[in-house]
Amino acid sequence: MACVLLFNRLHPFSHRLTRTSICLLSLFLSYLCYCALFPADTIMHKSGDPTPSCQRVLADGAKRRIQKTPSCVLPLDARPINVEISRLKSDQRPPSILHIDTPSPPMGNLKFGNKKLPNAIIVGVKKGGTRAVLEFIRIHPDVRAAGTETHFFDRNYDRGLEWYRGLMPRTLESQITMEKTPSYFVTKETPHRISAMSRDTKLIVVVRDPVTRAISDYTQTLTKSPDLPSFQDLAFRNQSLGIVDTSWNAIRIGLYALHLENWLRYFPLAQIHFVSGERLITDPAGELARVQDFLGLKRIVTDKHFYFNRTKGFPCLKKPESSGSPRCLGKSKGRTHVQIDRDAIEQLRDFYRPYNIKFYEMVGHDFKWE
């Protein structure tokens, strides 16, 4: 447009100019118009740009991928680096043809936390109340727990720690990861293996009167194997002489002092917390308060979370706001025990008495099982 205006102004004087002058003037005006329409920096190019798929190095030095558009499919050497930089400097917003991909957020953030090896493990004992402790403590917002028994340290150790980590729930940095496998307490290799994972692991042991625990263990096994021999036949090598068969697992588990000696070779007593299976029934809030203290948690799980189910003879969790009914443990919890001969029970109490006394001395607490 500027060239046209300038030519119109000069046209009245064109009769005074020679033909040669007119030609030179025309060439000069054409050059000015060409320069105005095609700036020099778009013609000059930097050849040999190997960057594929229209990638450019922007002013911040980071590579970005530009969305393919009609202008993007031009030869790469026709779109130099300095052109992109100058365009971005002239306008802080990327031009509409420059769609710059942003990096995806870390996967851990998308899934809210990461899988970590457990900070605390409920290691025993079977039929002591381990499931109840796990279900009660996981109400706490700072606790996440594996839902099933992993049996890593006694049956699956050869699978490796990464396999074990994969079984854990995702937790935030402030949360505690837990799992429970009651057979750990009576497995000889387990203390060393847990210590090798982390010497800082906190251990929880739920203990119960060993006689009552053995009867409960037998009752559970009997429901799965109705043809099982009688309790007395399994518990005694010679009942008339009071000789107890310690090879039977139901009896062997109750020798708490012997098992604890093995754990104390690898962990200090301060790192092991003992929950009373009897008090867990009569005072669940009090036992959970001590568990929370041991784990370094604020006391959030309190008596307001529990009510006593008279049918099961066991405490249950009160109805949460998001649920339509209270939450009790499964049908196998709180079942009626098999009736055992009174003389057999007294013989077992005599057998366990020295082991119980030694256990009380080791942990510094009298559980009053006599």
**d(C-alpha 67, C-alpha 172), whole Å:** 37
336 is in an annotated binding site: yes
- Residue 67 has phi, psi (to 5 degrees) of -60, 140
Tell me which residues are annotated as active site. 127
337 is in an annotated binding site: yes
335 is in an annotated binding site: yes
Please enumerate in sequence order all residues whose Cβ is within 8 A of that of 49, keeping only pairs 6 or more positions apart, or say none: 76, 77, 80, 81
Which long-range contacts link 164-169 to residues 24+ away (Cβ below 8 Å)?
164/117, 165/115, 165/116, 165/117, 166/115, 168/115, 168/116, 168/117, 168/118, 168/144, 169/115, 169/144, 169/145
155 is in an annotated binding site: no
User: CB-side exposure of 132: number of CA atoms within 13 Å?
Assistant: 31
213 is in an annotated binding site: no
CB atoms within 10 A of CB 171: 21
> Taking a C-beta distance cutoff of 8 angstroms, is the pair 78, 45 a contact?
yes
368 is in an annotated binding site: no
364 is in an annotated binding site: no
181 is in an annotated binding site: no
How are beta strands 170-171 and 55-57 bridged, if at all? unpaired
Query: Which DSSP letter does residue 148 get?
Result: S
- Nearest Cα to Cα of residue 236 among 336, 343, 339: 343
- Residue 321 has phi, psi (to 5 degrees) of -60, -30
334 is in an annotated binding site: yes
312 is in an annotated binding site: no
- Nearest Cα to Cα of residue 218 among 201, 236, 191, 239: 236
Tally of helices (H runs) and strands (E runs) in the chain: 15, 13
Which residues define the annotated binding site for 3'-phosphoadenylyl sulfate?
Answer: 127-131, 208, 216, 333-337
Which residues define the annotated binding site?
Answer: 127-131, 208, 216, 333-337
